[in-house]
Amino acid sequence: MIQTTDKVNLRTYNTFGIEAKADEFITCNSIDDIKSTLKYLKNNPQPYLILGGGSNILFCKDFEGIIIHPQITDITLLKQDDSNVWLEVGAGVVWDDLVEHCVNNNWYGLENLSYIPGNVGASPVQNIGAYGVEAKDCIESVNGFYIDSTEAFELSNNECRFAYRQSIFKSELKNKTIISSVVFKLNKQESYKLNYGDVKEQVESFGKVTLRSVRQTITNIRKSKLPEPEEMGNAGSFFKNPVIGIELFQEIKGQYPTIPSYPISEQLVKVPAGWLIEQSGWKGKAIGDAAVHSKQALVLINKGNATGNDILKLAHQIIKDVNNQFNITIEPEVNII
C-alpha cells in the first residue's frame, strides 16, 4: 500500500535548493509501488510530475498536484559474455554510484560520465552526456509504465530516438511514462574515449591510463568547474550547447578567431554555450541572489535566497544578450516548472 504525504516542501528534492511545495508526494520503492501509484492516479485525476534526483529542474512555483518519486535502487547483472555485461539498473540509483560500481568491476563505457548529478531514471530522458560520451552509447533498453494505460513497456535503444540531450521521453512520450529501470550494455575489454578537450593529457598525467584514472580525471575537472549543490544551489549546466550552421560559425569565427567548436557534420558545428555567455559579459555576474558561476558560465547558481523566478529572469537576460551579440538562441537544458 502506497503512502501519500501532503504539502511536502521540495527544497531538499531539487539541487537548486528552491522553496516550493507539492500538494501530494509519493515515493515508489518497487514495481508494485509504481503500479499502485498509477491506480491511485487513475482514481484521483490531477496534475503529476515524475521527480528523480531533482538535479535538472527549476521550480518557479508550488506544484499543484502529485509528485511521483521513483526510488527503485536494484542493480542486477542480467547476463554476460566474453566481451560485454548487461546490467538492469533501478531508476532510483544515484547515477554516480552506478559509474563507481562499473569502474570497480572493470566495466567500460560510463567512466566519462562520472560525477554527473541525478538518478539513473533521468539518464535516458535527457540522454546525459559529457566529454565525448552520451548515455545512449551504453543504453540497451529502457523499462517502465505508460501512465494513462498503466501498461508496462520495454523500449530498445533505437525506439528511444536518442539525439543530443533528446529522446522520445522529451517528445512524443513527454510526461506520459514512469521509467522503472534502464538496461546498460558495458564493455569488458579495455576501451577509452579521451579525445575531448585536454582530457587525454590530464589522464596521462596520472601515469598509466586506467578506468580509475579516467574517472578521477573527469571528477576533478567537474569539481573544479561546478559548485557542490549543498554549498551553492545549482543544476549543473543550465543551457544546452547550441548547434549552428557552418556559415554562421564562419561569420562568428571571423570576429572571434579563438571560438571553440566541435564539428557535427559538414554543415553543422556545436559551440560551447558557456563560451558564448562569458563573451557576453555574464560570467560571475548576478541579479540579486541569482548568479552566473565565476568558474563556469554555463552554470547558474542560487547564492542563498533566490527564487525560481529569480533564476529564470537571469536566464532570460542571458539568452537575450547572447542572441543580440551572436545571433544564436541558446536554450535551457533544465526543466522549468
Nearest Cα neighbor of 114 from 182, 193, 178, 190 is 193
Residues assigned a catalytic role: 165, 237, 333
- 309: number of CA atoms within 13 Å, CB side? 3
Complete DSSP assignment for 124-176: HHHT-EETTEEGGGTEEEEEEEETTT--EEEEETGGGT-BTTB-GGGTTTTTS
> Cα–Cα distance between 120 and 188 in angstroms, integer?
21
CB-CB contact of 88 with 78 (8 Å): yes
Compute the distance between CA of residue 254 and CA of residue 245 in angstroms, rounded to an integer: 15
Taking Cα atoms as reference points, which of 243, 242, 259, 225 lies closest to residue 319?
Answer: 242
Reduce the DSSP state of residue 17 to 3 states and report it. coil
Q: From residue 248, how far is each of 242, 245, 327 by CA, in Å? A: 12, 6, 8
Report the length, in residues, of the chain. Answer: 337
**Which triple of cell numbers denotes residue 26?**
509519493
Environment class of 300 (CB within 10 Å of its CB; exposed 0-12, middle 13-18, buried 19+)? buried
